[in-house]
Every structure is written in C-alpha cells, then in structure tokens.
Amino acid sequence: MFGIERLEWDSSFFGFEVGRIGIGDEKEFDYKLFSEYSKKFKLVYVFSKVNLLFPNFELVDRKVVLNQFTYEVVLKENELVIDSFNLDRHDIKELKQLALKSGIYSRFNVDQNFTNNEFEKLYIQWIENAVNHEVTFDIIVVLKNTAIIGFVTLNKKNEFLAEIGLLAVSENFRGCGIGQQLISESIKRSYNAGFKEIQVVTQQENIPAMNLYQKTNFKIKEINNIYHSWNL
C-alpha cells in the first residue's frame, strides 16, 4: 500500500489505525498519492533523514542513534547501591514513576494530538514489558536505602548488539554522577553478556541525555527526522 506499513502493535495499543513510511528522497515522494492512501490511517509515522516541508507533516522528533563497542569496565568504589530490579525486593511503582520522567522529550509526549494519556500508558507498558523480560535482559537500579533513585533497561537487539532502552535519575539526585554510573554498569554487563556493541536512541532536543552519552564516549551513528501525519 504505497509503502505505508500498518503497525499492528501500535494500532492495537492506541485503539486506532497507525502506519509507518520511510522517505529517502523528497523529490521522488508523491504527496498526493500519500494523502490518498493515508486516509486509511488516523496516524502515520514518517521517517526521513532529510527535512520535509509537506502539509500536515509535524516534526515531533529528531531521533539520534549513538553507539560504541563494549569493553571490560573497571568500576570505581563508591557508596551507590546497584542491583538488578527484582519484584520481590523493589517497588515497581517507583520504577514506573521514573519511567515517565525518562520520556519527557518523547514524541508521544510532545505531540499534543495525543489526548488520551497515550504517553503515560505507553511508557508504563514499556516498563512492564521490561520487567517481564520480553526484550530486556537486565534492569539496573540504583538505590538510596531501599528507594530506586535511578534505573536503566538493557535490551537485546541481536546476538551482537545490546541497547539502552529507558534511563532516568530522580530529580533530587541529578548531578551526582548516577547517570554515568548507570552507563558504565550497562557497558560492563553488556560486555559480560557477550554483546560486542551497545547503542542508545534519544532525541536531539534532549540536551542533558545527549551530553551524558557523548561524555561517556558514545558516538552519533545516525539521525532521523520523525514526522507525525494525522487524519483528525
């Protein structure tokens, strides 16, 4: 269908038809044809490495992929308590609250056309999936007494590639090096699990995250513009 892929999971989760299309060359893109075929969808995600200026295309994210090779990290002694999340020992409500903090720059939060708490529902679903280890092989948590003050999820992309999924630090403990500690621990655990490379996806507008990842030696691999095209 004109290159518009129906997204089964997104359509089911949001309760309306969602599609996706990638545009490689703006000059070869037929907007009139797109407008006709996109009528079957309420929302189409449009991915492009170039800037697009078509009607009804709202730029909601500049998606940045950063990566580096894993290696055997030697961690410095510190007072942080680091553990893997366990439902028997840790409070999942604290994890969910932090998960929402991790997504403030998310296109699902930025796009005001979502009006049914889709952002909150999506991130809660993602953290529940992580706890159930659907794609996640570890959830690293940093504890203050017994409270979770930071976390990161580690996902398996393929046999050789691990990915940082969600990462957040409690507002009261930012600037204390917890983010760097979580990343170092992520690299270490990914290396020990046999992954050769680790990547992370964030938003270019998320300056604190970009600074953190580049400070910890992640390099930009690619940048994609993501547009939302709605039929409202």
SS3 state at 45: strand
Residue 160: closest CA among 106, 121, 207, 199: 199
The reported pLDDT for the residue numbered 25 is 84
SS3 state at 222: strand
The reported pLDDT for the residue numbered 79 is 73
Which tokens in the block code for residue 75?
């961690």
pLDDT per position as a tens digit, 79-102: 789 999 999 999 999 999 999 999
The reported pLDDT for the residue numbered 99 is 95
Contact of 64 with 203, CB cutoff 8 Å? yes
The reported pLDDT for the residue numbered 190 is 98
The reported pLDDT for the residue numbered 5 is 97
HEC profile for 116-166? CCHHHHHHHHHHHHHHCCCCEEEEEEEEECCEEEEEEEEEECCCCEEEEEE
Bridge partners (DSSP) of residue 68 are 198
* Ranges of the chain whose pLDDT falls below 70: 1-2
Q: How many C-beta atoms lie closer than 10 Å to residue 17's C-beta?
A: 17
Integer Cα distance of 134 and 98 in angstroms: 20
Integer Cα distance of 116 and 63 in angstroms: 24
Integer Cα distance of 189 and 193 in angstroms: 6
The reported pLDDT for the residue numbered 45 is 98
Integer Cα distance of 91 and 96 in angstroms: 9
The reported pLDDT for the residue numbered 30 is 92
Which tokens in the block code for residue 137?
């092989």
The reported pLDDT for the residue numbered 2 is 66
